[in-house]
Structure 1
Amino acid sequence: MNKNNNFWLRLEQLVASCNLKIDRPKGTPHPRYSFFVYPLDYGNLENTSSGDEDGIDVWLGSLSERKVTGIICCIDSEKKDSEIKILLGCTSQEAQDILSIHNTGSQSAILLKRGD
């Protein structure tokens, strides 16, 4: 097994071992930026931690199989932080839409799709 496949396997294992908490359902406005409406369910993996000391962020797409389809790596030069966002069950179009969201303002992001 190559290292790339090992990464996705370990990420799948992490996701499978944690509860997914959706705290921002599709169609709801952002709590601080009411102009932004979540196009997909957004939440985090409970009992995990990331750079912002919250759980690892997850975008949940429309595919019926909840398989890790990619990750978004993003930085925010204004807040001076970085994070990853797991894409779970996202179509290619949903992944591109999420990438666009994280490439606005002071944010810059890259999409790593499973299989790349």
Structure 2
Amino acid sequence: MSTEFWEALDRLVAESRVVIDRPKGTCHPRYPELAYPLDYGYLDGTTSGDGGGIDVWLGASGTRDLSAVILTVDAFKRDAEIKLLLGCSEEETQIALACSNNDKMRALLVRRPKEKT
């Protein structure tokens, strides 16, 4: 995958404030049976397919290192989105992916390629 894609996302992350509007353990406002397993929010000042900010999963490390993106398709809502994984461990990456793959939507994980040294 193009390094320019990842660099463009890095710029968005660097230039935006991360807003966590659904802290780990809180329930989804429309689906109370869904509790967020990680901090979840968005990049302030950006726009995603649903009209809100670009979604982010924030790992426990608290860093803003972008390691992967999750692409989602919701056939019921008829939309698709990108979710950035910031500071997520491998375990947290798998948790975010599992949460994004449910009876309402399907998700695909795209990992950032390792840089060649």
User: Structure 2 length normalisation: TM-score?
Assistant: 0.91
Q: 2:77 aligns with which of 76, 79, 88?
A: 79
Identity of aligned residues (%): 47
Q: How many residue pairs were aligned? A: 114
* Structure 2 residue 38 is the aligned partner of structure 1 residue 40: yes
The 8 Å contact of residues 13 and 64 in structure 2, kept in 1 or not, is answered as no
Look up the match of 1:55. 53
Q: Unaligned 5+ residue runs, structure 1?
A: none
Q: Unaligned 5+ residue runs, structure 2?
A: none
State the shift of 1:65 in Å.
3.0
User: Structure 1 length normalisation: TM-score?
Assistant: 0.92
After TM superposition, the runs of 4+ consecutive aligned structure 1 residues lying more than 6 A away are: none
Distance 1:8 1:32 in 2: 32
SS in 2 for 1:75: strand
Q: 1:66 aligns with which of 58, 64, 67?
A: 64
Distance 1:92 1:114 in 2: 13
What residue identity is the alignment partner of 2:19?
K
State the shift of 1:67 in Å.
0.3
